[in-house]
Each structure stands twice: as C-alpha cells, then as structure tokens.
C-alpha cells in the first residue's frame, strides 16, 4: 500500500467509535478539566497532620485519591517534602526492595501518518530518513540486544502507518521471540517484549495479546483536550482525543491486563497532567479492578523539524521533574515507574531515590542502529537526542555499587502473575519474595554470560548479600534457590519461581 488514496482509505477505517461510545457521556470522557483544576486550587494549604495521614496511606500501598494527590502536588514546605521523600523510599522498599529492571527500546519503523507537532517522525518532517526493518533486520537487531548486550526485555516502538500496521507488528514480535544466541555459558534471548505502539481496535488488541506481549504502553501525551487538539492536527488519526483516551479500556476488553500509561511532560501544566494520570489509573481500577502496571513520564526533547518543542511554554525544570516522580511514587504505590535515557546520567541516578523501578540501557533509537558500527546520534534517523548513552554493563556496575540488584526476571507474565493477580500480590508484598528470588537467578545468568570483569566484581558483592538475606528471611525457599543457582552457575538457564 503506497499511494495517497490507499493511505487515506486506511486512515479513515482506523477509528471505530462504536467501541468507545458506551463509555462516553454527552461527548465527555472521564477526564474533567474543571474538576481537576478545582481540586488543585482547593488543596493549596498543606496541613502537616493531613500530609502525614496521606503518606501513611501510601506506605500501606493504597492508591491515593485525587484530593490527596492534589495536596501532595501543592506541598512547598521543605521539611514536608523531605517527609514525602522518606515515605517514597519506604513505598519503594516495600514493593520493589532494592531491585531495578533494565530494558532496551527497539525502534522498528518511523513511517507515520500522523503529524504530532513535537515528534521527529511526523509526516511533515520531510528530512526524516524513513525506514521499516524487514524481518531479517529485526532478527539482526535482536541478536545484538540479546546476544551481545544481554538484554532480556525490550520495548518495541512503532509509528502509525500501513507499512508497520498490526500485521507487521505481530510478525516482528514473532521474529524477536524466535532469536536465541549462544553466550559465554548459556544463551541470550528476549523473554519479554513490551510494546509502545499506536492505539488499536479491540480486534487488533486481541492479536497483540495472542502474540505474548508484556506491557501494552500508550502515552496520552496530554490529558488537556484543548492542548491535545492544538498539537495533533485535525484529520490525523491521533487527533481523536477520546479514541486514544479509551485505548486501555479496549485493551482490557481484548484481554490485555498489563498496561502502561504516560504523559509527555512539557506540553501542558505538569500538575494538571499528574492529576490526570492518577485519574486515568483510578478509572481503570474502578472499571477493570486493575491499575497501570507502569507509568512513564518522558520530558519533551528537541526533535528534527518540530519547532514546537522549543516553544510549548510548559518546559518542566529539573526540580519540578523530581517532584513529579515523587508524587507519582506516592499516589500510585503499586505501579512500576520508568525513567529513560532521554534523561541525563545524573537525573537517572537521582531518580533511584524517588522510586524509579525500570530504566533502559545501551539505548539506541535510530532504526537499525544496534546492528551498525556507527553510534553517532543522527537526528534524521531518530526521534530525538538521548541524554545518557551508557552501556548496560556500565549502568549495572553503577547500580551494584549503589546497592541495587538488576533483575532480568520475566517470570511474572509467563506464569500468569499479571493483571489483578499481580496487583494484589504487589499490594500485599507477596510478589516481592518471588521477585527477590528471580532477581538473584537472572542476575547470576547475566553476570556469567555478559558482564565485564569489573562489573562482575561489583555484582558478586550484591549477589552474595542477597543470598544471605534470602537464607535469613525466606528460609523456606532457600534450598530450592540454591539448587537453581547451582544449575545456573553450571550453564542451566531460565529457571524461575
Ligand atoms: N506512534 C506511537 C504513538 O504515538 O503512540 C508510538 C511511538 S511514539 C514514537 C512513542 C512516544 O514518543 C510518544 O507517545 C511520545 O510521548 C514520545 N515522543 C514523541 N516525540 C517526543 C519528543 N520530542 N521528546 C520526547 N518524547 C517524544
Ligand atoms: Fe507518529 Fe507517534 Fe511520532 Fe505522533 S508521536 S508522529 S504518532 S510516531
């Protein structure tokens, strides 16, 4: 499909209003601008007793109400902010302990029929070098990621275009899962592919579910409809705010129970956006009993032929960005939080104490860039310029030195611990014990297969500490863990609880 008539026809058939009408009353979705603004202006004073009560609720791993989130967003007092930081650490420790998950983005195609004013892939960017990876190239990219770097998780990223439509996406997922590369002791393999893709119909989402995706991730970009309409030109698929807003409702209807929400910070007022993200999570919890598995909060970066990125008027400064992470950690205590290589190394380091649970490493966002020698960041081929291009090995070394264990565990979704089940386990702290055991086993695999000598040294210290802690705190699991650990040290792979 290539000529403009065919493409217009394809675009016109994408949106299926009958799949969302039942959720919409009088043309309005679940985000109410007036109500959110009213809550933000009502909850200006920060009574220390009230803040203390809110923080206790977070520490009990309960989702905060919008009023409570508004209170936290409005806190200015440094000593209260300090209490918020301490509470965020407690939440993180309780749900995720000292584990951190790593992944890599894999950009498969940058053709796009949309024209989002902030994105280098927009159709009006005539200088973009457009490419969709063929299956052979998808295999080569995966071989580098899984076989040379040692990633076990990817987020596959796609533009919206007939050349990378749902059939292409399903084929590419199959190709990624097929790759198996010998490594030093075992083998490299991608065990979980999350997807950051356009919004789909229920039928297409059923296909994604059947392909074995991990998290289905879509960012609303902005929940402020007037701003949304300004930056997504009329006539494009993405200009339909409600079709996008209800994409996760359709995902749940299609049987996907692991979803990732996000906002592109810098398009509109950040406090409004945090409130709306939380409102989206509450809506999903109310309707489907499952909240967001992960939250992403990319900040707007400069992009080729996208001058809007420099003049949105809502740039988020570093201190406010840290407050965003802090409030999300406290408001949505069970959700994973993802910071990406868009941010600098020092911001990523600081974010660890604010409750981050996942980050990417060895990141390249040019189409086909992992299997090329040239690692220059050519803006014509990628969406924006990265802030931190350190390798997975370097990042893991740093995490180890800071006392974090990197987990490559992908067991949860492969043995049915997803959706409501995982939410309940996370809330009760039960999932933690499986995660702790699997973190040790998968980290052992990675150290043996991929670590440099220097990183291995730092990693061994952490792993020893974790083993001792498990023997002490989870004695009932220790003998089985030792059995698996020994098998893995001898080259066995993919053993998990
Ligand atoms: N095409 C799909 C979509 O729009 O949802 C998925 C891929 S798109 C490349 C992934 C995300 O990149 C978008 O949801 C947006 O939040 C983010 N993005 C786009 N332009 C950006 C920029 N200039 N800086 C930072 N993030 C950006
Ligand atoms: Fe296309 Fe997504 Fe970029 Fe918009 S953000 S232009 S939909 S790739």
Domain residue spans of the chain = 4-28+98-419, 44-89, 430-489
Nearest CA, atom 7, ligand 2: 114
Which numbered atom of ligand 1 lies nearest the CA of 264?
16
Which atom of ligand 1 lies nearest, measured to the CA of 159?
Answer: 1
Q: How large is the average pLDDT for residues 39-55?
A: 91
Q: Given ligand 2 and candidates 115, 121, 124, 298, which is best to mutate, with the most ligand atoms within 8 Å of its CB?
A: 121
**Whether pLDDT at 255 is above 70:** yes
Which structure tokens are listed for 49? 């007793």
Q: What does the pLDDT read at residue 433? A: 83
- Note the pLDDT tens digit of each residue in 238-250: 999 999 999 999 9
Percent of the chain with pLDDT over 70: 93
Is pLDDT of 451 > 70? yes
Give me the pLDDT at residue 44, please.
78
State the pLDDT confidence band at 424, using cuts at 50, 70 and 90.
low
In this prediction the pTM is 0.95
In angstroms, rounded to a whole number, what is the distance separating the alpha carbons of residues 497 and 480?
9
pLDDT mean over 51-64: 97
In short, whether 339's Cβ falls inside 6 Å of ligand 1 is no
Predicted confidence band of residue 448 (pLDDT cuts 50, 70, 90):
very high
Q: How many CB atoms lie within 10 A of CB 196?
A: 19
Nearest CA to ligand 1 atom 6: 197
Residue 160 in contact with ligand 1 by CB distance below 6 A: yes
Above 80 in pLDDT, residue 234? yes
Structure tokens at 331: 């408001």
**pLDDT band at 413; cut points 50, 70, 90:** low
Average pLDDT over all residues of the chain: 93
Name the residue of 123, 160, 217, 239 to mutate for ligand 2: max ligand atoms within 8 A of Cβ: 160
- β-strand pairing of 181-182 with 187-188: antiparallel
Cβ–ligand 2 contact at 116 (below 6 Å): yes
In the chain, what percentage of residues exceed pLDDT 90?
85
Domain 4-28+98-419: CATH class, spelled out: alpha beta
pLDDT for the residue 207: 98
Asked whether the predicted pLDDT for residue 173 surpasses 90, the reply is: yes
Residues 183-207 have pLDDT tens digits of 999 999 999 999 999 999 999 999 9
Angle, CA 346 vertex, CA 359 and CA 328 arms, to 5°: 55
Beta strands in 63-191 (DSSP E): 99-109, 153-158, 181-182, 187-188
Q: Examine the pLDDT at 426 and tell me if it is beyond 90.
A: no
In this structure, of 42-56, 61-75, 199-213, 281-295, the range with the lowest mean pLDDT score is 42-56
If pLDDT is split at 50, 70 and 90, which confidence band does 6 have?
confident
Cα-to-centroid distance, 119 and ligand 1 (Å): 6
pLDDT at 434: 85
Nearest CA to ligand 2 atom 6: 122
Which of 11, 154, 196, 261 to mutate to test ligand 1, by most ligand atoms within 8 A of the CB atom? 196
Q: Are 245 and 29 in contact (CB under 8 A)?
A: yes
Chain centre distance of CA 352: 15
User: Does 450 score more than 70 pLDDT?
Assistant: yes
For the chain, percent helix, then strand, then coil, each to nearest 5? 50, 10, 40
Q: Which of 39-53, 203-217, 425-439 has the highest mean pLDDT?
A: 203-217
Question: Quick one: pLDDT band at residue 79, thresholds 50, 70, 90?
Answer: very high
CB-CB neighbours of 201 under 10 Å: 19
């Amino acid at each position: 499909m290539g000529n403009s008539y065919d493409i217009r026809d394809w675009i016109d058939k994408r949106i299926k209003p009958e799949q969302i009408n039942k959720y919409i009353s009088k043309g309005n979705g679940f985000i109410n601008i007036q109500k959110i603004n009213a809550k933000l202006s009502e909850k200006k004073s920060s009574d220390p007793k009230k803040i203390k009560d809110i923080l206790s609720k977070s520490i009990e791993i309960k989702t905060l109400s919008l009023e409570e989130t508004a209170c936290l967003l409005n806190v200015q007092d440094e000593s209260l902010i300090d209490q918020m930081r301490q509470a965020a650490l407690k939440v993180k420790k309780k749900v995720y302990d000292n584990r951190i998950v790593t992944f890599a983005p894999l950009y498969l195609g940058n053709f796009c029929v949309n024209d989002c004013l902030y994105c280098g892939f927009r159709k009006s960017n005539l200088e973009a070098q457009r490419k969709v990876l063929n299956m052979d190239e998808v295999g080569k990219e995966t071989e580098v990621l899984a076989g040379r770097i040692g990633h076990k998780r990817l987020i596959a990223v796609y533009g919206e275009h007939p050349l990378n439509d749902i059939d292409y996406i399903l084929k590419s997922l199959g190709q990624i899962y097929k790759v198996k590369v010998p490594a030093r002791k075992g083998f490299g393999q991608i065990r979980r592919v999350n997807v950051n893709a356009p919004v789909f119909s229920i039928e297409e989402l059923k296909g994604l579910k059947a392909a074995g995706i991990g998290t289905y991730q879509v960012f609303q970009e902005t929940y402020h409809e007037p701003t949304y309409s300004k930056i997504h030109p009329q006539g494009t698929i993405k200009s339909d705010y409600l079709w996008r807003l209800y994409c996760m409702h359709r995902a749940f209807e299609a049987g996907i129970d692991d979803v990732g929400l996000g906002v592109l910070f810098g398009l509109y007022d950040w406090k409004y956006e945090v409130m709306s993200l939380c409102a989206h999570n509450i809506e999903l919890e109310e309707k489907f009993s499952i909240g967001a598995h992960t939250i992403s909060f990319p900040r707007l970066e400069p992009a080729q032929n996208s001058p809007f990125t420099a003049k949105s008027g809502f740039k988020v400064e570093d201190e406010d960005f840290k407050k965003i992470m802090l409030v999300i950690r406290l408001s949505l205590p069970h959700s994973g939080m993802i910071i990406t290589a868009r941010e600098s190394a020092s911001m990523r380091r600081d974010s660890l104490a604010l409750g981050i649970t996942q980050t990417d490493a060895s990141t390249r966002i040019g189409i086909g860039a992992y299997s090329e020698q040239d690692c220059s960041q050519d803006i014509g081929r990628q969406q924006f310029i990265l802030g931190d291009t350190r390798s997975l090995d370097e990042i893991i070394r740093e995490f180890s030195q800071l006392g974090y264990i990197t987990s490559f565990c992908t067991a949860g979704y492969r043995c049915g611990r997803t959706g409501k089940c995982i939410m309940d386990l996370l809330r009760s702290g039960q999932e933690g014990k499986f995660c702790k055991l699997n973190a040790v086993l998968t980290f052992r695999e990675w150290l043996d297969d991929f670590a440099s000598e220097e990183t291995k040294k730092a990693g061994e210290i952490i792993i020893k500490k974790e083993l001792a802690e498990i023997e002490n705190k989870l004695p009932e699991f220790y003998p089985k863990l030792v059995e698996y650990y020994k098998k893995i040290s001898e080259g066995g792979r993919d053993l998990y609880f």
